[in-house]
Chains A and B, each alone.
Chain A
């Protein structure tokens, strides 16, 4: 039986600002195949996907879908040709409902009018298919959790009945339960003969889910292999071009867990309650929990974005009232936010401008630190940029994250809160971020780490505090098992 491949891309070239991002990349995806695209940050995975989705047009090369040559100048053409996409950045309108977002651009009509009932019904069915029962089609997307937004995105792509579905890191914002849902769904798609093109940085996912792996490096095709023909270690080596040793760097020997730097007593507000937490100098405390369990809310409360209305916070033993971020910064707290583009960076400004923003914005901090040291901080983080005048919008995700971290390190904080510091960054960059976190602790900072990938919390934290429904459900030592954490996180166990 000779079926045409679902997708065949040949010799794709693409350059931005004269800088080549993709050079003669080939990619073939068979019907019913789950095909993963891997590579470091900036390897060109998203760009390749966007070319396929009609967002960008290739400078050279051909695309065939089911044997038919296509060329897209607008996403609508790609959709009509049976390509549906979940993009890396959220692609939703917060002012519209779930159903309206799902059907955006393809609203069902009855006698020329938009048929809202049909739209809601179809969405409800789609969500039920996905196994999601706690998401209303008429809920406004802006009021949803990140996970529910991601689910909306996925529902949107699935609702198009496409032959080829592209997903760019769909699980980056999902917790394990939802990830499992997605896996099951992809399984069903595979059975129906739908091809899935997948981008992920999560190794386990790649090997659990995918049939075939295409590796990109610096915009070039390295290799396309069956999952069964390669080991995780080999894959990493091929992606990064060198071997990455142990998953988590060891604690540096001179790390000493010392005095309490951050202490929360009975903290609570509209979103979390009864938070008692201590982080010591040199200590990494992990905050674990399901989506919506209130991890970010604790970070935001400590940083004065939505302050605690009950309880107290003490820094280095002194009670502080943190009513807004400036006060937190003055108290020596730093927050690496979970959404670096929306909350962390002024995208149209240079690397330099972003890195010194905290110093610029806070007079007291400024006097403590000379901006000239910023260059040193950036290079210690191995920032890859065309220069510190480059606008950060043109950096890859991992490098953008480094700029965010650099801006906080410049302020020499005593407490640093990291909310999803490795979201959407590649293996190499993740590894670098792990060492950075370790060295922060070694320098005597108190580190509060939030990460959805449990393995990170387990591997890095000295202690793990597990949240459930806005409250602390339990505390575990570093190196606890995933089962132990999940028992608290799902509320099956509480202390």
Chain B
């Protein structure tokens, strides 16, 4: 009984719950516009499209919850796709080695972001803004301005194909399976010691340090995880649609919005990975709804802006309603 009530409160009340409410509302809207959306194949297609953003949201979640930002993920996704195309250059046999190179590159970018933020004490907004510029420029410098080369069929498989001929559903996209694996991984990781220390570090850096936590190390790991998730997202996006000069552009803002929509607090220490990923799903569903409604394309940003503000305001109200000023701390633990 209380369990049910607590679940209800969690879903409809507190900051995290808002996203599930929003998700239900959007899906209801889509259902009203087009019941066929919930048939297997189109639902699968939706999930396939949503997978990269959900994966990025998982990565961004780690960074945000530990008290930082990662604005470089969009540029990193773009860079990864361009690197893949240029290095693979249509040769099937190069797929695997290039995937390893991309993995190394993604982890390295995350590591550099993390070290600059933690060791050099540069606020992560600036670190990753700088990284965004560096990646954007460097990758174009390397390819002379526009992507060259092409992707192999094997490279494109995870993003584009799936398990075919499944009854009722048609195709189960590999992207969906990868998304589920990453999602489960993220949720499980937050249940480990690492996850708990990460949360504590985002909440009160000093207390975590004095408890022996390697705050810098876990925060750096969060950036590395974000780099990893951007790499996976890059593989899926590149696989899904191939190379184009604009891949990844603006994704950083979409994904941060998604995570915040999921009730994760910018500044760290609060929010769950599941809700962050649900936020990403909600954003994708919102885009689908706009499409179903045939909302004039130029008006969509306006509606999107209103919904995001409303949802986050609603969540903030839910959080702050009981007990106005939460006891404050004079902690030096601060998001950077």
Question: A–B direct touch, CB within 8 Å, in complex?
Answer: yes
Q: Are A349 and B203 in contact (CB under 8 A)?
A: yes
Give Cα A437 to B258, complex, Å.
48
Select which of A55, A335, A342, A365 is within 8 A of B331 by beta carbon: A342
A342 with B324, Cβ < 8 A, contacts A349-B199, A356-B196 known = no
A360 with B327, Cβ < 8 A, contacts A345-B207, A346-B204 known = no
Provide the A338-376 mask, 1 if CB < 8 A to any CB of B, else 0: 010111111111000110111111110110000000000
- Residues in B neighbouring A323, C-beta threshold 8 A: none
Provide the B26-70 mask, 1 if CB < 8 A to any CB of A, else 0: 000000000000000000000000000000000000000000000
- Residues in B neighbouring A343, C-beta threshold 8 A: 206-207, 210, 331
Q: Are A90 and B204 in contact (CB under 8 A)?
A: no
Q: Are B200 and A353 in contact (CB under 8 A)?
A: yes
Give Cα A342 to B208, complex, Å.
10
Give Cα A363 to B199, complex, Å.
17
B322 at the interface (CB under 8 A from A): yes
B206 to chain A, nearest CB (A): 5
Sorting the interface of chain B by its residue count into under 10, 10 to 19, 20 to 34 or 35 or more gives 20 to 34
B300 at the interface (CB under 8 A from A): no
A89 with B199, Cβ < 8 A, contacts A326-B212, A343-B210, A346-B269 known = no
- Residues in B neighbouring A339, C-beta threshold 8 A: 330
A89 with B211, Cβ < 8 A, contacts A346-B269, A347-B204, A348-B269 known = no
Provide the B296-327 mask, 1 if CB < 8 A to any CB of A, else 0: 00000000000000000000000000111111
B133 to chain A, nearest CB (A): 30
Give Cα A16 to B204, complex, Å.
23
Provide the A278-297 mask, 1 if CB < 8 A to any CB of B, else 0: 00000000000000000000
Residues of A in contact, count (CB < 8 Å): 40
A348 to chain B, nearest CB (A): 5
Q: Are B211 and A407 in contact (CB under 8 A)?
A: yes
Select which of B193, B207, B326 is within 8 A of A346 by beta carbon: B207
Give Cα A431 to B258, complex, Å.
49
Q: Which residues in window 288-316 of A have CB below 8 A to B?
A: 303, 305
- Residues in A neighbouring B199, C-beta threshold 8 A: 346, 349, 353
A401 at the interface (CB under 8 A from B): no
Q: Are A341 and B330 in contact (CB under 8 A)?
A: yes
Q: Are A346 and B208 in contact (CB under 8 A)?
A: yes
B328 at the interface (CB under 8 A from A): yes
Q: Are A329 and B212 in contact (CB under 8 A)?
A: yes
A389 to chain B, nearest CB (A): 10
B9 to chain A, nearest CB (A): 11
A332 to chain B, nearest CB (A): 12
Which residue on chain A has the smallest CB distance to residue B324?
A56
Which residue on chain B has the smallest CB distance to residue A397?
B327
Select which of B206, B210, B213, B324 is within 8 A of A335 by beta carbon: B210
- Residues in B neighbouring A224, C-beta threshold 8 A: none
Which residue on chain B has the smallest CB distance to residue A15?
B322
A253 at the interface (CB under 8 A from B): no
Q: Are B210 and A349 in contact (CB under 8 A)?
A: no
- Residues in A neighbouring B209, C-beta threshold 8 A: 325
- Residues in B neighbouring A366, C-beta threshold 8 A: 193
- Residues in A neighbouring B331, C-beta threshold 8 A: 341-343
Besides A325-B210, A361-B211, 12 new A-B residue pairs in contact (Cβ under 8 A), listed by A number? A17-B323, A55-B324, A56-B325, A342-B206, A343-B206, A346-B203, A354-B200, A356-B196, A358-B211, A359-B193, A363-B193, A394-B327
28 A–B contacts from the bound complex (CB under 8 Å): A16-B322, A16-B323, A18-B322, A55-B324, A56-B325, A89-B327, A89-B330, A303-B210, A325-B212, A329-B211, A341-B329, A342-B330, A342-B331, A342-B332, A343-B206, A344-B207, A345-B204, A346-B204, A349-B200, A349-B203, A354-B200, A357-B207, A357-B208, A359-B193, A361-B193, A362-B212, A393-B326, A407-B211
Ranked 3 nearest A-B pairs via Cβ:
A17-B322, A361-B213, A346-B203
